[in-house]
Amino acid sequence: MIEKKLSRSEFKRKAIIEAAMAEFEAKGFKATSMDDIAKRAEVSKRTVYNHFANKDALFSAIMVEMMSLLCTFEHVPFSEETSLELQLSLVAEQEISHLRSEAFLPMARVIIAEAIHSPDLIQEAMLEFSDKESPLTSWFYAAYDAGVLKTEHPEIVVTQFMAVIKAFCFWPQLIQGAKFPADDEIARIKETAVQMVLKQYT
């Protein structure tokens, strides 16, 4: 995929968001000032305010960036002609690649830390993204609509599927600073998630 070349304004906006993430992660949302963010981004404070009215707007932008990241990857479309096991394996591989991406974990650290102290920030940011459905959720609902998943609650299956993956490919890295699993371990994690769905819901 060819990356779009950023304009000067877009480049500065990106730098500001990355600086805000680093400052929020290091100091916490409340202790971080717009001056801190401007200094780390190597832009003027006025430039920061030209892009974001306040810290809340910056935090919302980080939330949207993270969620957009999960929706911009190429996703596996559901197919009635392809075996469910193969599709689930591809979906699991895709979700693991999301969690492995360089941008995901730093954003997650910032958002989860502030969710504890400032739940209103999370709720406000979520409103900006509430009309979008993730490709993962869409895939499971498509499988349900095709009658290949035996459940009245596809959203629960999505949660269980991701719980298996995140138990090895997200939470240990977030909380313990663990290394991402090696390829052979990832293969076992994928197989576990896939078989859980097949045995319980088909």
Q: How many domains does the chain have?
A: 1
Q: What is the mean pLDDT of residues 73-96?
A: 90
Q: Is the pLDDT of residue 79 over 50?
A: yes
3-state secondary structure of 30: coil
Q: Which residue reads 């939470």 in tokens?
A: 171
pTM of the predicted structure, to 2 decimals: 0.76
- 140 in a structural domain: yes
pLDDT value of residue 2? 43
- 96 in a structural domain: yes
Cβ contact 102:180 at 8 Å? no
Q: Is the pLDDT of residue 21 over 80?
A: yes
- 183 in a structural domain: yes
CATH number of domain containing 100? 1.10.357.10
Residues of the chain with pLDDT > 90, as a percent, come to 55
pLDDT in tens, 48-78: 999 999 998 898 888 877 777 666 556 789 9
- CA-to-CA separations, 174 to 3, 109, 142, 171, 195, in angstroms, rounded: 28, 7, 31, 5, 26
- 118 in a structural domain: yes
Question: What is the spatial distance between Cα 32 and Cα 30, in angstroms, rounded to a whole number?
Answer: 6
Q: Output phi, psi for 124, to 5 deg.
A: -65, -40
